[in-house]
């Protein structure tokens, strides 16, 4: 790790900014840089996901607000998260093949299928976390946080999803 860090520092010192940026944006970047790019794509996915969830939750499928029953928040919140999963998934797929991973381990349709299929595991886990949060919302009431149950559930959904995706995408779907 230290040897690789020294090599990276040497590369930065010996090359102009244009060359360094080109290398960072390439698919052959150092694994730490690759993970940083993946994390950046993940942040974009989270922002898109939250934008869709909250837009739908405030309009089409109400799930945000203190005047809504918890059961409605849970039901509509699940619908909103599933829709957001597909919207953000499409964007992050494109970002991943553009900046992080090399496509081509599989044909395009299989690659897209695997991308979403692998993401279904964290989607299921995240949905389970949401269910647990809503099911145990009375615990939140004890600490005066029940009015934020939908926000806590959305945060739990995102954290749970992010934990699985990188390794699955790196080793199952893309070339590296």
Closest by CA to 40, choosing from 162, 156, 124, 126, is 162
> What pLDDT was estimated at residue 106?
86
What is the tally of structural domains in the chain? 1
User: Which of these, 141, 164, 137, lies nearest to 153 by C-alpha position?
Assistant: 137
Contact 156, 129 (CB under 8 A): yes
Instruction: Provide the phi-psi class of 104: left if phi over 0, else alpha when psi is between -120 and 50, else beta.
Output: left
Give pLDDT, residue 47: 94
Cβ neighbors of 137 (< 8 A, separation 6 or more) are 70, 146, 149
Domain membership flag for residue 3: no
pLDDT tens for 42-68 read: 899 989 999 999 999 999 999 998 899
| 3-state SS, residue 15 | coil
Residue 9 located in a structural domain: no
Which position has the higher pLDDT, 3 or 40? 40
Domain assignment present for residue 16? The answer is no
Q: What is the pLDDT of residues 3-35, one digit of tens each?
A: 777 877 887 888 898 988 888 888 788 777 888
What is the model's pLDDT at position 39? 86
Q: Is residue 22 part of a domain?
A: no
**Residue 84 domain-assigned?**
yes
13 in a structural domain: no
pLDDT tens for each residue of 54-106? 999 999 999 998 899 988 988 999 899 889 989 999 999 999 899 888 888 88
Residue 83 · residue 158 · CB < 8 Å: no
Q: Output the pLDDT for position 126.
A: 73
Q: Domain residues for 107?
A: 32-173
User: Do the domain assignments include residue 21?
Assistant: no
Residue 4 belongs to some domain of the structure: no
So what's the pLDDT on residue 127? 76
């Amino acid at each position: 790790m230290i040897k690789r860090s020294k090599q990276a520092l040497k590369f930065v010192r010996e090359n102009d900014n244009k060359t360094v940026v080109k290398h960072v944006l390439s698919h052959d970047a150092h694994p730490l840089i690759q993970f940083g790019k993946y994390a950046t794509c993940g942040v974009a996915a989270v922002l898109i996901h939250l934008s869709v969830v909250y837009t739908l939750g405030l309009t089409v499928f109400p799930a945000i607000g203190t005047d809504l029953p918890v059961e409605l928040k849970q039901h509509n919140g699940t619908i909103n998260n599933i829709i957001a999963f597909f919207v953000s998934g499409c964007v992050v797929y494109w970002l991943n093949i553009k900046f992080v991973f090399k496509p081509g381990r599989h044909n395009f349709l299989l690659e897209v299928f695997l991308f979403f299929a692998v993401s279904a595991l964290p989607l299921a886990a995240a949905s389970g976390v949401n269910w647990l949060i809503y099911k145990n919302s009375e615990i939140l009431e004890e600490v005066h946080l029940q009015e934020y149950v939908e926000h806590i559930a959305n945060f739990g959904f995102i954290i749970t999803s992010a934990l699985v995706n990188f390794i699955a995408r790196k080793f199952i779907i893309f070339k590296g």
